Amino acid sequence: MTPEMTVELPEEISIENVAEWKQTFTGLLQGSSPVQVVASALSRVDTAGVQLFAVVAQAAKAAGKPLVWQQPSDALKTTVAQLGLTQVVFN
C-alpha cells in the first residue's frame, strides 16, 4: 500500500495565500500517494480558498486518488456549506 502524503492547513487560507496552497496541492496530486488534509487549525477560509479545495477534490477524484479530510474545522465546514459545495469538497 502506498503511504499517504499529509498536508496540515494553517489558520487561514484566503485570496492572499491561495496561490501558495495551489502549488502545494498541485505537487501532492502529481505524486502517486493518497492525500490526507489536516484542517483542524483552519479558522478562516474565504471563497478563493473553498474554490481551491473544490478544484483539488475534483482533480483528485478524476485521477482516482483518495483525498481524505482529517478534522475539518467548523469554519471550513460552515463556509463550504454556505457556498453549496459540501458534496464537491468533501466527497
From CA 14, how far away is CA 33, in angstroms rounded? 26
pTM metric for this prediction: 0.92
Range of the domain at 71: 5-90
Model confidence pLDDT, tens digit, residues 9-54: 999 999 999 999 999 999 999 888 899 999 999 999 999 999 999 9
For residue 41, the domain's CATH number is 3.30.750.24
Chain center to CA of 15: 15
Is the pLDDT confidence value at 77 over 50? yes
How many domains would you assign to the chain? 1
